[in-house]
Amino acid sequence: MSTAVLLIAHGSRRSEANADLVQLAELVRAQNLYPIVETAYLEIAEPGISAAGAACVDRGATTVKLLPYFLSAGAHVVDDLESHRRELSAQFPGVTFELCPPLGLHPLMVEIVLARLTEGAAGSVDVV
């Protein structure tokens, strides 16, 4: 059995914003916890979710964890990503596709917010 991680962001017309997800995937990959780590975008950028999900399966995944790189469980996560999960499950019936919660109010989010507030008060912030 092989578990894949599919990191999903909204997608942007700004390549710098999309590059954040690619960098995150590299950092997750470097932890060597999952043999397959792919990226996908809900809209605007490529690869799309269907193509990236298929790539996970092509690489041997029997379980794919869909992780929304979103802050809250809005319509994109609750409706759109769940719809993509169902479509992938139907397309690949032998593979389990799990939709993980968005980043949301994870306990570490407070630390992140406080760090960003400190960075903002200290001077320039590299916003992408």
Active-site residue numbers?
10
Is residue 64 within 8 Å of residue 100, measured between CB atoms?
no
Distance CA 35, CA 84 (A): 22
Is residue 6 within 8 Å of residue 65, measured between CB atoms?
yes
Q: Which tokens belong to 51?
A: 């193509």
